[in-house]
Amino acid sequence: MKYRYLFTSIISGLLFSSTLASQAKEIEVTRAPYIQLATESSQVVVWRMNGQIEPVVRIGKSVDKLDVPVEKILVKHSVHLWRGPEVGRAPKDTMQYEAYITDLEPDTTYYYAVYNGDQRLTPSDKSYHFKTHPKIGSKTPSRFWIVGDSGTGGRDQKLVHDGMKKFMGDKKLDGYLHVGDMAYGSGLDKEFSRNFFPMYETTLRNTVCWGAMGNHEGYTSKGESATGPYYDAFVHPAMAEAGGVPSGTEAYYSFDYGNVHFICLNSHDLDRSPTAAMAQWLKSDLEKTKADWLVAFFHHPPYTKGSHDSDNEKQLIEMRENIMPILESGGVDVVFTGHSHIYERSMLIDGAYVTPSTNKGVVLDDGDGDPREGGDGSYKKSAGLAPNNGTIQVVAGHGGTGLRRKANHVLMSKVILMHGSVILETKDNKLTLKMINYNGDKVDHCVIEKGGKVERKIVENPRAPELIIDKKILAKTGAKMPKNHEPVIPKHAEWDYLAGVNLHPAKGWTNIEFDTSNWKKGKAGFGYSDKDDNTILDMKDKFTVVYTRKEFVINDLSQVKVKGLGLAAKYDDGFIAYLNGVPIVRCLVDYGDGATAKGFHNHEANHYEFFPLSRYTRLLKKGKNVISIEGHNADIGSSDFTLDAFLTIKK
């Protein structure tokens, strides 16, 4: 446990002014104050400096009257934080301060400020506040924000945060669950400082983030010893400080907010078998809770066909086969996960543990759970936490990184390829889930309503999921083919191609002068399985990219410029096209090229799409030209692939 690193002394009334005066560099806040581990009577405020200060925290019920000094402030120096390689450590001279504020009243708002001695470090601002949890068991409404796979430090992550704030308006959050992958690429200390804390600073200063460790944090943090930058960043309950039963580790824990019991599990690097310590703790925790609502969260989704496949991957299968039976016999209502870069929200299901997943005999309600006009109505469950009465699974891996979908999972009600996050609300006998996109719009809405005794009924032939794809992603595909066009390179012409396991062309392969004499020749389209290919490639489970080139001659450039050139393509799943060495079309491949291409999206080759190239006619030369296309399959195990292109002039 990380407490081993603590200076256990309580800092109170120690003066460091002489030390500070002698220091040449200016000591600054390097991680802005954020709140952690809320209970009904306590709160932790954490922040970092790049040197030693005299830490003081004052709190009060009015922003203008912060009259209560906090007595217990724990201090960690950089050498006592994670002791990994230099690149992953907290920077030299880092001081992490953790103020443990106790003896608070439940369900009460307090304002706080952080000082260095008498010098105030945080502005006099109402946003520096926290609200203690209501009494455990009280039927206080709650509102939590759920985000996953967001830690890129990029534009989409910021938009998702802004979208949530726009949607919320004046309403307040009671907590924030992060389901992991908050600091790409390796969960390093510097990645937390760059990709997580500054991105959510305005929310983290007044809303506790309860974290679940993702696989990217798992590169540098270890669940077994609860050490690493992830464990340095968070203060989680190991001793049932906020409800539940003690886990003895911050790797998995539980807490209560009023009548909602939250359970966080480590799905990444701890033993996931039903006889292991984590499962034993889970069983005991579920036995004790008397909450009205039960919410579990962890990183690896038991059900997904987004960027990951829950039928093929170890952690996902084990969480489904070993852990879900314990959660469902304990009456879980909702499970939030991430890992798969998509939003998927299930129907009301129970007992879906077999591999591969099936929708036979496990769907209790195949409606959309939406009680509003036009919806199918709320999901109904018995009052309290009835065992095996139905769970909603939510994959919220759409918090900021590249989106991807392999297929529609048969247990999902909604599959949405769009960046966003989720708001969970409980009030009276209703639990509401809202998927909020990056614009602050509500894209999915469902409700569980509890009351009386609801008998378990199985839906024999559940409906298929509804698929929603962001217009931004759709816009990357081509337009409808023009009615009249004249080919420059005819349909199904013979192309040079390079395809095979670990076969990638040398640099410059898209240029006119490149020698393709050792490439094969074949008629377009290239691919397998879907009966629309002239050149069959043995790609499945072997490789994902094929490179094609076709030379063509233009004798009269003025004609091309007037009429407009276009690329027609039938493709599954994406491609990048080059004209005389210059990239001209990037379709459903987000970044990179060749072997390093990433960010694929699924697409079916149903018909030719038209990509106007009029802006690129300047690249054409009189005489010989070359068009080069690399076709990508989104998944190496995909059931089909197609790349069938020709060059045409609109008439």
Partner 1 sequence: MKPKLTVLLFCLVCEFLPAHEDPHDVIHALTHKLEHAGKAEKAALYFKRSTEYRASRQDEKAKQDLLAYTKLKPADHLGWLELSKLEKDNENRLQYLSKSLKLATDYYDKALSHIELAKHFYITGDFKSSLASCEEAIRLEKNGIVPVELKSHLLWSKDRLDERVKFLTKAREKNVSIVIENMWIEAMIDAGNGDQLKGLIEKNMQESRFKSSWQIRAALCAPQHSDEAKSLAKSAISEINKRLDLERPDITLLMDLARAHAITQDYDRAQHYFKLVKSSPHDPWTISELEKRIKETELSSK
Nearest residue (CB) to partner 1, 89 versus 434? 89
Q: Is 248 in the site for partner 1 (CB under 8 A)?
A: yes
Q: Is 93 in the site for partner 1 (CB under 8 A)?
A: no
Q: Is 285 in the site for partner 1 (CB under 8 A)?
A: yes
User: Which amino acid type is present at position 465?
Assistant: P
Nearest residue (CB) to partner 1, 163 versus 397? 397
Report, in Å, the least distance between residue 121 CB and partner 1.
Answer: 31
Site residues (CB under 8 A) for partner 1, limited to 565-604: 595-596, 598, 600
The secondary structure of 322-342 as a DSSP string is: IIHHHHHHTT--EEEE-SSSS
Site residues (CB under 8 A) for partner 1, limited to 330-389: 330, 339, 341, 351, 353-354, 385, 387-388
Q: Which two tokens stand for residue 337?
A: 């996960």
Nearest residue (CB) to partner 1, 286 versus 433? 286
Per-residue CA distances from 634 to 138, 191, 471 (Å): 49, 28, 19
Q: Is 415 in the site for partner 1 (CB under 8 A)?
A: no
How many residues belong to the site for partner 1 (CB under 8 A)? 88
Contact by Cβ (8 Å): 204, 363: no
Question: How far is residue 210's CA from residue 347's CA, in Å, rounded to a whole number?
Answer: 26
559: enclosing H helix or E strand: helix 557-563
Nearest residue (CB) to partner 1, 555 versus 596? 596
Among the residues of 88-177, which ranges form H helices? 155-168
Kindly tell me which residue out of 174, 292, 368, 635 binds partner 1, with binding defined by CB under 8 A: 635
Report, in Å, the least distance between residue 597 CB and partner 1.
Answer: 9
Q: Is 643 in the site for partner 1 (CB under 8 A)?
A: no
Q: Is 281 in the site for partner 1 (CB under 8 A)?
A: yes
Q: Is 637 in the site for partner 1 (CB under 8 A)?
A: yes
Site residues (CB under 8 A) for partner 1, limited to 473-502: 502
Kindly tell me which residue out of 10, 87, 458, 582 binds partner 1, with binding defined by CB under 8 A: 87
Residue with tokens 């002239």: 534
Q: Is 328 in the site for partner 1 (CB under 8 A)?
A: yes
Q: Is 178 in the site for partner 1 (CB under 8 A)?
A: no
Q: Is 277 in the site for partner 1 (CB under 8 A)?
A: yes
Report, in Å, the least distance between residue 195 CB and partner 1.
Answer: 10
202: enclosing H helix or E strand: helix 201-204
Kindly tell me which residue out of 96, 152, 266, 432 binds partner 1, with binding defined by CB under 8 A: 152
Q: Which two tokens stand for residue 410?
A: 């048969």
Q: Is 309 in the site for partner 1 (CB under 8 A)?
A: yes
Q: Which two tokens stand for residue 36?
A: 């952690």
Contact by Cβ (8 Å): 631, 641: yes
Burial 496-513 (b: 16+ CB within 10 A, else e): bbbbeeeeebeeebbeee
Q: Is 91 in the site for partner 1 (CB under 8 A)?
A: no
Per-residue CA distances from 482 to 160, 471, 648 (Å): 37, 22, 10
Kindly tell me which residue out of 104, 121, 159, 188 binds partner 1, with binding defined by CB under 8 A: 188
Q: Is 6 in the site for partner 1 (CB under 8 A)?
A: no
Site residues (CB under 8 A) for partner 1, limited to 46-85: 83-85
Q: Is 155 in the site for partner 1 (CB under 8 A)?
A: no
List, in sequence order, every beta strand (DSSP E) within 166-309: 175-178, 209-211, 253-257, 260-264, 293-297
Strand-strand pairing, 343-346 and 392-396: antiparallel
Which of the ranges 126-134, 284-292, 482-490, 529-537 carries the binding residues for partner 1, by CB under 8 A? 284-292
Nearest residue (CB) to partner 1, 62 versus 358? 358
Contacts of 121 (CB under 8 A, 6+ apart): 29, 33, 47, 113, 114, 115
Which of the ranges 59-67, 239-247, 532-540, 578-586 carries the binding residues for partner 1, by CB under 8 A? 239-247
Q: Which two tokens stand for residue 179?
A: 């389901």
Q: Is 535 in the site for partner 1 (CB under 8 A)?
A: no
Kindly tell me which residue out of 78, 132, 142, 227 binds partner 1, with binding defined by CB under 8 A: 227
Cis check: omega of the bond before 175, within 30 degrees of 0: no
Nearest residue (CB) to partner 1, 276 versus 474? 276
Q: Which two tokens stand for residue 1?
A: 């446990």
DSSP 103: S
Nearest residue (CB) to partner 1, 311 versus 530? 311
Cis check: omega of the bond before 141, within 30 degrees of 0: no
